[in-house]
Chain A
Amino acid sequence: MSAQPLVLGIETSCDETAIGIVRGRTLLANVIASSVDEHARFGGVVPEIASRAHLEAMLPMLDQALLQAKVSLKDLDAVSVTAGPGLVGALLVGVASASGLALGLGKPLYGVNHLAAHVSVDLLTHANAIEPTIALLVSGGHSSLLQVDDITSSVVKLGESMDDAAGEAFDKIARVMGLGFPGGPAIDRESNNGNSTAIDFPRGLTQSQDWRERPFDFSFSGLKTAVARYLEATPDYVRADVAASFQEAIVDVLLQKALLACKKSGIDSLVIAGGVAANSRLRHVAQERCDGAKIRLRIPAPALCTDNGAMVAALGSLMAAAGRPASTIGIDADSSLSVTCVSVA
């Protein structure tokens, strides 16, 4: 395998049909078709609608990605696909497509972990080595703190959310405030005009006992309840202030725990990845606090934080370059694939 493998990655774990192509650590193409508008009126993703949209978008996205990268399928060194976690019916469209490509081309297939892929995409925008690093992975489905010694083989989970994921909390609060779906970008926008210290919302799992017993775990359900109660009790609430204060509570607790993980592990590097990493306040406060603590911070460009195919191609490319074994023919989608399992055998 070449040191700069040309890899095409397919991502279909939720509502985005995304294909990326990378050569080594160079991003050549990143295309996305989203069915998000079809889900908006349900306030969440409808799995069957997402799966149907994936199948319809697959060939158009494939052609568009190849055109953008100016490569042809036969040039590829490997194919990479999200094997999990995610919606099983949605994942299966991607896995079947990737299997068809790999078998048709006679090239290896890497079935990779969506969460590890979120972290690995950092390499496409930052040339320096990723490992070892602490990774804060925050998205609609996951909030985890990870220690990444080698993204192709060794990811250790330090902690995770006990209830809602951070992105889920954004969605739910946006819904009760009538800000629409998806909630993350809506709250981010609304907060621009608000005062983040207007309301002192609770920071979950930050009591002294929590710091002893579960320092790296998160909980957002108490915050969610507190915001809902505040809205009920305050008919003339200022929407921008509520949004900004809620956002501040999430950002604060995420970063408190991420920086503690760096300190405790002695690792002076932090990667923030996942859809919530596109949040402008999180990016801003993270930079301030990491500068203060002399921690090297890396956050992918916002377009690479949300679900995309480039991240899947990036991880596949790293696996191929590191000489990791390809997945066997006939891998299945695994809707609850653990973050510690970087690729499926």
Chain B
Amino acid sequence: MSICLAIDTSTSRTSVGLVEDGALLWHGFQDGATAHGSALPQLVSQGLAQQSKVDQVVVGMGPGPYTGLRVGIAFAISFGRARGIPVTGICSLDAIAALIHEDDFVVATDARRKEIYWARYINGVRTEGPSVDLPKFVAAIGVSAFGEGSFKYQLTTNEEFLFPDMASLVELSKNSDNKINEAMYLRRPDAVPTSERTQ
């Protein structure tokens, strides 16, 4: 019996789950692309009120817009270190794809700047991506599309499977091939010199 804290902040949704042996015990989320910083600790605190003992942390490593994504990863690794429990990173797109039972499809999330983060899955295996591109590039592949980015850019009208699934995030962590150590930014930092220095 092992209880897992699942966290994903790679999309506009801040999502937290408590998963025990594949079953979702508790799920809390808050929507809002700039809300991750305040929402995540609140959600985790609510979850811990239900079940305070946690044996493992699994966190979505993106791809995702940078600031929100980092909130989830920074929180997860610190929480894991505080509890002395393992932390596993998973590709967030895989945790959307896991629930979709089609032979060939793409999953896309919103990368802002009119682009999407996407990956393609054939027979349950990620065959392309994760990458960042214009929606029309992904539309041209001509397969079914899922995820927040696909919906936003009208690659689909399906409002299911928009965000990473917490139980799937944990399930994926059992497969060593899925583990990712670094945040998946997929873009280089904008190196615009700034005088925005503080202190």
Binding site for B on A (CB under 8 A): 13-14, 42-49, 51-52, 54-56, 58-59, 62, 73, 85-89, 92-105, 114-115, 118, 139-142, 167-168, 171, 274-275, 307, 329-333
Instruction: Provide a sorted-by-A list of 20 A–B residue pairs whose CB atoms are within 8 angstroms.
Output: A45-B194, A45-B197, A46-B189, A46-B193, A47-B194, A47-B196, A48-B190, A55-B74, A58-B77, A87-B198, A99-B78, A101-B78, A101-B79, A103-B41, A103-B82, A105-B82, A168-B195, A330-B39, A330-B45, A331-B41
Provided the pairs A43-B193, A62-B81, A99-B40 are in contact, do residues A51 and B70 lie with their beta carbons within 8 angstroms? yes
Contacts of B70 in A (CB 8 A): 51-52, 54-55, 89, 92-93, 96
Q: Which residue of A lies closest to B194 (CB)?
A: A44
> In the docked arrangement, what's the CA distance between A332 and B32, Å?
14
Determine which of B75, B76, B80, B185 lies in contact with A52 in the assembled complex, contact meaning CB atoms within 8 Å.
Answer: B185
How many pairs of residues, A versus B, come closer than 8 Å at their CB atoms? 158
Determine which of B38, B77, B190, B196 lies in contact with A100 in the assembled complex, contact meaning CB atoms within 8 Å.
Answer: B77
Kindly name the residue among B192, B197, B199 whose own CB sees the greatest number of chain A CB atoms within 10 A: B199
Q: Is the CB of B37 within 8 A of A92?
A: yes
Determine which of B72, B189, B195, B199 lies in contact with A44 in the assembled complex, contact meaning CB atoms within 8 Å.
Answer: B195
The distance from the CB of A175 to the nearest CB of chain B, in whole angstroms, is: 10
Q: Is the CB of B74 within 8 A of A58?
A: yes
Contact mask for chain B residues 164-199; partner A; CB cutoff 8 A; 1 contact, 0 none: 000000000000000000110100011111111111
Instruction: List 11 other contacts, CB 8 Å, given A59-B77, A97-B75, A330-B37.
Output: A42-B192, A89-B67, A92-B70, A96-B70, A96-B72, A97-B74, A140-B199, A141-B199, A171-B197, A329-B45, A330-B39
Provided the pairs A73-B82, A332-B38 are in contact, do residues A100 and B74 lie with their beta carbons within 8 angstroms? yes
B6 within 8 A of A: no
Contacts of A14 in B (CB 8 A): 197-199
The distance from the CB of A146 to the nearest CB of chain B, in whole angstroms, is: 14
Determine which of A49, A55, A168 lies in contact with B73 in the assembled complex, contact meaning CB atoms within 8 Å.
Answer: A55
Q: Is the CB of A103 within 8 A of B199?
A: no
Determine which of B66, B75, B79, B196 lies in contact with A45 in the assembled complex, contact meaning CB atoms within 8 Å.
Answer: B196
> In the docked arrangement, what's the CA distance between A58 and B45, Å?
22
Kindly name the residue among B66, B74, B82, B196 whose own CB sees the greatest number of chain A CB atoms within 10 A: B74
Q: Is the CB of A103 within 8 A of B196?
A: no
> In the docked arrangement, what's the CA distance between A118 and B66, Å?
29
> In the docked arrangement, what's the CA distance between A87 and B74, Å?
16
> In the docked arrangement, what's the CA distance between A252 and B77, Å?
47
Q: Is the CB of A96 within 8 A of B185?
A: no
Q: Is the CB of A104 within 8 A of B83?
A: yes
Contacts of A103 in B (CB 8 A): 41, 44-45, 48, 79, 82
The distance from the CB of B120 to the nearest CB of chain A, in whole angstroms, is: 27
Contacts of B131 in A (CB 8 A): none
The distance from the CB of B49 to the nearest CB of chain A, in whole angstroms, is: 11
Contacts of B156 in A (CB 8 A): none
B71 within 8 A of A: yes
B42 within 8 A of A: yes
Determine which of B71, B196, B199 lies in contact with A139 in the assembled complex, contact meaning CB atoms within 8 Å.
Answer: B199
Q: Which residue of A lies closest to B83 (CB)?
A: A104
Contacts of A58 in B (CB 8 A): 74, 77-78
Kindly name the residue among A59, A99, A101 whose own CB sees the greatest number of chain B CB atoms within 10 A: A99
Determine which of B73, B81, B191, B197 lies in contact with A140 in the assembled complex, contact meaning CB atoms within 8 Å.
Answer: B197
The distance from the CB of B86 to the nearest CB of chain A, in whole angstroms, is: 13
The distance from the CB of B9 to the nearest CB of chain A, in whole angstroms, is: 9
Q: Is the CB of A332 within 8 A of B37?
A: yes
Contacts of B195 in A (CB 8 A): 44, 168
Contact mask for chain B residues 51-80; partner A; CB cutoff 8 A; 1 contact, 0 none: 000000000000000110011111111111
Q: Is the CB of B199 within 8 A of A275?
A: yes
> In the docked arrangement, what's the CA distance between A142 and B197, Å?
10
The distance from the CB of B188 to the nearest CB of chain A, in whole angstroms, is: 9
Q: Which residue of A lies closest to B9 (CB)?
A: A96
The distance from the CB of B180 to the nearest CB of chain A, in whole angstroms, is: 14
Provided the pairs A46-B191, A48-B66, A97-B74 are in contact, do residues A104 and B37 lie with their beta carbons within 8 angstroms? no
